[in-house]
A and B are shown apart, each in its own frame.
Chain A
C-alpha cells in the first residue's frame, strides 16, 4: 500500500514522515528543505494491518500546476504513480492558504486524509478550527496531528484512517478538473472561484482571535532580526555565541574528557606493543592509524556541540531570517534568492548543498551557486578551524565566525565576477520566501541531528581518514627505494618528495614547507585529513599526547613545532577552507553544472580565490605585525597579478557582451 505525503512547503511533511517511518531525513523550519521524494515503510507500531505501508514524502507544493521543479516532482508523482491514499498535510496555523492545494488533491479521485498539523500552535494562538465541520465540507477525514510530539500526536488515528479510506470514493467539494489548462483566462477565473470557495469554508470553520492585520510579537521581532542592516550584526553575534559555546567553553570541556580516553587507549596499545615490536609497524598503527584518526576524532565533542546549536537555530526559524537578510546582497550580484538555501545546507555538507542547486531554473545562476556553495565552511572543515583556533588563537570564537563571513564575502565577490564574465550583469532575479513562525526549538530534533552527524563523522574517520593516515605514515616512513628513511632525513621520504614542489608555490602564503603542503593535498580527499596528516607528519601523536591537552591549553608547544606565526596559521586556515572542496563535492559540482568548461573554470576559480585570499592575509598581516613583508612576496605578487589580470580581462569581455545585449534589447524595444 502506497501513501503519498503532500502539502504546502514547511507544513511539516518531513517531520511527519520521520515520525511515522522512524527515519531521520533532514528537516528544517523553513520552506524548500525537501527537493526530491523519499520513501520509507510506516512503523509497525502505527500500522496494525500487517500489510506493508510505504510512505512517500514529496516536496512541498502550493498547487498541482507545477511552477518549480519541486512542485513538478509532487504533481507528477500524484498524477502518474497512483498512490492508494494521499495524506494531505495542512498547516493548521495557515488554513486558508493550505486549502487551495487540498481542494485540488480532492479532484484526483484518490482517497485523501487531511492531517491538520501543528494543531498545538493553534491552541496557543487561540485559534479554533471546527474539525468535524471541515471534514464534512471537504468530504474527507480530517485528523488533528502534532508530528513533533511523542504522545497524543494523532498519528495512530491518522494511519488507521488511511487504512479505512483505501478504495473509498470521495466527492470533491470543488470540481474544476475538466478545465482547459491551456486557457489562461479560464484557469485564472477558476482559481478565483476556488479562493472564494475557500474563503467561505474559512468563515464557517475557523475562529481566530488574532487577526492578520494586527502586528504580532513575531512581526515585531522580524523587524529587528530580518532588518536589512541590523540583521547582519545580529547574525555575526549569533554565530559568535555559537562558536563561543562550541569552541571556547562547552566543547573543549567535553573534548578534554574525550581526548583523555583516546590518550589512554593510545598508551594502552603502546604498552601492549612494548619495545620488541618493529618500529615501522608500530609507527603505522600508533602514529598513522590511532594517532591520525584520534587527532580528528578528538574534535568530535566540539563538532557535536556546534551542530546541536545550529540545529536549534534552524528549528526555531532563525536560519530562514538569515536567508532573507542575505537575499538582498545575493540579488544585487546576480544570484537567485534561492541560492541561499543550498549555501545554508552546505554548512552541514557541501554535497547536498551543491545538489540542492537544481531547484534553481536559470542555468547561469544554478552553475554559479554550485560553484560558490563549497565556500561555506562545511562540517568537515570544522576540525581544521577548531585546531587552528585552539593552537594559535587561544580557542577564540572569532576565528570560526570570521571564516563564515569570509566565506559569505567570497561568495558575493565570486558571484559578482561570474555575472560580469557571463555578460548578464543587467539581469535581476526575484525571490519570495515564506517566513516560518518562530517556535521553541525541539531538543529531540536537535539531538537526532547532532547524533546522526556525529555518526557520519565517526564513519568517515574510521574509513577514508584512517586509510589516508595509514598511507601518509607509510609514505613518510619510506623513500622511493622503499628503504626506511633515517631519523632527521624525513625530507627524503616519498611524501616529502611529492609535497615539496607544491610547497614552493606556498612560500608566498607563509607556509612553504612540505609537511603543510602534504596536509593541504590530503585535504582534497576529505578536509578532516588536514588535521590527521598534520598529526602524522609532525609526530605529535594526535595533538593529545602533549604535556597538557592542547584542546584546553598548552597549544603553543604544538604551534612551535609547526613553526608558523599566527598570521601564517590564519593564512593556512584560509587556504584550506577556501580552495576547492573534497573530490566528492567536486563530483557533485560536475553533476549539477553539466558542463566541463564551467567545472574546470569553477575549480580554477576556487584555487585562485583561496590562493589570493591566503596571500593577502599573510603579506598584509605580516606587514602589520612585523613592519616587513612576508617571505616570497615578489613571486607571489607576480602570480596574484597574473590571476587578477586574467579575471579582469574576462570581466571586460563580459561587459562588452552585456552592452551588446542591452543595445539589442533597446533596438528591439524601439522597433
Chain B
C-alpha cells in the first residue's frame, strides 16, 4: 500500500512538472522559467523577439 501511494506521489510530481513545461512551451517560452516570460504571449522578451523575426 505504501509503495502504491509512493508511486502515485512520484507520478503526480512528474506529471505536474511535465504539465508546467508544456504550458511554458505553448506560451512560446524558449527557456523554461525565463524571467521575462511570465506576462503574456505578446510581451515576453524572448517570445516577442521570435514572433517578430
Contacts and interface: CB of A to CB of B under 8 A. Distances in A.
Given A285-B9, A462-B20, A463-B32, 16 more contacts: A23-B39, A25-B43, A26-B45, A73-B52, A273-B2, A276-B2, A281-B6, A281-B7, A285-B6, A289-B13, A351-B46, A456-B33, A463-B17, A466-B13, A584-B30, A591-B50
B2 A277 contact: yes
A281 B10 contact: yes
Interface of A: 23-26, 35-40, 73, 273-274, 276-278, 281-282, 284-285, 289, 349, 351-352, 355, 358, 452-453, 455-460, 462-464, 466-467, 470, 582, 584-585, 587-588, 591
A452 B39 CA distance: 12
By secondary structure, the B interface counts as helix
A38 B45 contact: yes
A579 to B, nearest CB: 18
Contacts of B10: 281, 284-285, 289, 470
Contacts of A289: 10, 13
Place the interface of chain B in its size category: 20 to 34
Contacts of B33: 455-460, 463-464
A285 B30 CA distance: 28
Contact of A349 (B7, B13, B34, B38): B34
A274 B2 CA distance: 10
B46 A355 contact: yes
B21 to A, nearest CB: 5
A453 B34 CA distance: 8
B35 A39 contact: no
Given A26-B36, A466-B17, A467-B17, A588 B9 contact: no
By secondary structure, the A interface counts as helix
A450 to B, nearest CB: 10
Contact of B35 (A37, A73, A452, A584): A452
Interface string B2-44: 1100110110011001101100100000111111101100110
A349 B7 CA distance: 35
Given A273-B6, A277-B3, A470-B14, A463 B43 contact: no
A39 B20 contact: no
A456 B34 CA distance: 6
A472 B36 CA distance: 29
B37 to A, nearest CB: 8
Task: In the A-B complex, list the 7 residue pairs whose CB atoms are closest, starting with the nearest.
Answer: A459-B33, A460-B33, A452-B35, A456-B33, A456-B35, A38-B43, A281-B6
B47 to A, nearest CB: 10
A281 B53 CA distance: 46
Nearest to B50: A591
A604 B42 CA distance: 34
B45 A25 contact: yes
Contacts of A453: 35
A368 to B, nearest CB: 19
B14 A467 contact: yes
A314 to B, nearest CB: 14
Given A462-B17, A467-B17, A351 B50 contact: no
Contact of A459 (B14, B20, B39, B48): B20
B43 A352 contact: no
A35 to B, nearest CB: 7
Contacts of A455: 33, 35, 38
A470 B10 CA distance: 9
A39 B34 contact: no
Contact of B6 (A278, A470, A591): A278
Contacts of A584: 30-31
Given A459-B20, A464-B21, A591-B50, A351 B30 contact: yes
B45 A352 contact: yes
Contacts of A278: 2-3, 6
Contact of B48 (A23, A36, A464): A36
A277 B45 contact: no
Nearest to A355: B49
B43 A39 contact: yes
A277 B6 contact: yes
A50 to B, nearest CB: 21
A303 B16 CA distance: 25
A274 B6 CA distance: 12
A587 B6 contact: no
